[in-house]
Amino acid sequence: MHAGTATATASVATAALMGVGMLLMSAPGAPLPDAPAARAAVQRADPARHPARHPAGAVARAPRVYAHRGASAYAPENTLVAADRADALGFAWVENDVQLTRDGVPVVLHDTGLKRTTNAEEVFPDRAPWAVKDFTAAEISRLDAGSWFGARYAGTRVPTLRRFLERLGRNRQNLLLELKSPETYPGIERATLAVLDEEGWLDRAHVRDRLVVQSFGAGSLRRVHALRPDVVTGFLGAPAPAELPAYAGFADQINPSRSGLSGGYVAAVHALKGPHGKKLQVNPWVVDDAASARKVNAMGVDGIITDAPDVVRAATKG
């Protein structure tokens, strides 16, 4: 599903989410329920009125922070430099976007076109509209993917997934890998899993703790789950609560846009178990300011996907 389609789906789902949230909100002045689960649900739905209290001495668990496209507020997105910047700031988890070149090589880029983040127009002036799928890996390797962000990044390259994995391995970092626009790239699931396997990212340790594959495409995620049922997966979007049980059959995470997210929706996701028998997780995106980070954290999210991981960590560290 394209981001635009996902946005539309999210909008449709918002009314349903609001419904869940409203159900969980208490009237002004009403006491909290005694049952712990019901109390926690009301607190998550309306944290401003009912802030969660923790036992004396207890520390609220900080959410996992994912560096979106690397630490992309500070370095050109989806490059090795952005992964290194996240590492230098102390962040283990990096998000990236994977697409396929014309010759079937998985590369790390967000846009399905090359114009915004590379000098493709200058290097290949007669190749409009400069779609990633129309260029070979060798051609893409010639492009500058850093100058658009700042002169000091001139010469930064578009990494292949293989090079990206090597760098994360060297940094001892983990990967939230997005299959971008899978409808554009038939076979992207097998091609991506093949590289992950060849680079040692599908062994038990990586699959258990160091890798999540996510996508806006439910069909794509179903294919990943069918090919490698052991891999942790995340659906990008906010399915209506009534649809969540179906998603729990193949996705371990529901990762929605932060806009429209409510504590009630987080509770509805958390009430379900994913394909690996664990509570479904919620990781909203893209949360780049402290107030928004505190707001979604108070809803009980498991992680936060952000261009500015240092800002989010400082705002939510318990």
For Ca ion, the binding residues (CB under 5 A) are 97, 178
Concerning whether 110 is annotated as a catalytic residue, the answer is yes
Instruction: List the end-to-end C-alpha distance of the chain, in Å, as a whole number.
Output: 35
- Minimum distance from residue 3 beta carbon to Ca ion (Å): 9
Interacting positions 38-57 with ligand G3P (CB under 6 A): none
Widest CA span of the chain, in angstroms?
69
- Minimum distance from residue 74 beta carbon to ligand G3P (Å): 16
Please say which residue, 40 or 309, places its beta carbon nearer to ligand G3P: 309
Q: What is the Cβ-side half-sphere exposure of residue 284, based on CA atoms within 13 angstroms?
A: 24
- Minimum distance from residue 247 beta carbon to ligand G3P (Å): 16
Interacting positions 268-297 with ligand G3P (CB under 6 A): 285
* Integer Cα distance of 4 and 213 in angstroms: 20
* Integer Cα distance of 3 and 229 in angstroms: 26
Interacting positions 298-317 with ligand G3P (CB under 6 A): 305
Among 111, 178, 189, 307, binds ligand G3P (CB under 6 A): 178
DSSP H or E run through 98 = strand 93-100
Please say which residue, 4 or 29, places its beta carbon nearer to ligand G3P: 4
The values of phi and psi at residue 246, to 5°, are -65, -40
Number of residues in contact with ligand G3P, rule: CB under 6 A? 10
76 prior amide bond cis, ω within 30: no
The reply on whether position 95 binds ligand G3P by CB under 6 A is: yes
- Minimum distance from residue 110 beta carbon to ligand G3P (Å): 6
Which of the listed partners (Ca ion, ligand G3P, none) does 236 bind, with a CB threshold of 5 to 8 Å by partner kind? ligand G3P
**Nearest residue to 302 (alpha-carbon basis) of 69, 60, 120:** 60
**Nearest residue to 285 (alpha-carbon basis) of 267, 261, 310, 249:** 261
The residues carrying an active-site annotation are 68, 110
**Which residues bind to ligand G3P, rule: CB under 6 A?**
3, 68, 95, 97, 110, 178, 236, 255, 285, 305
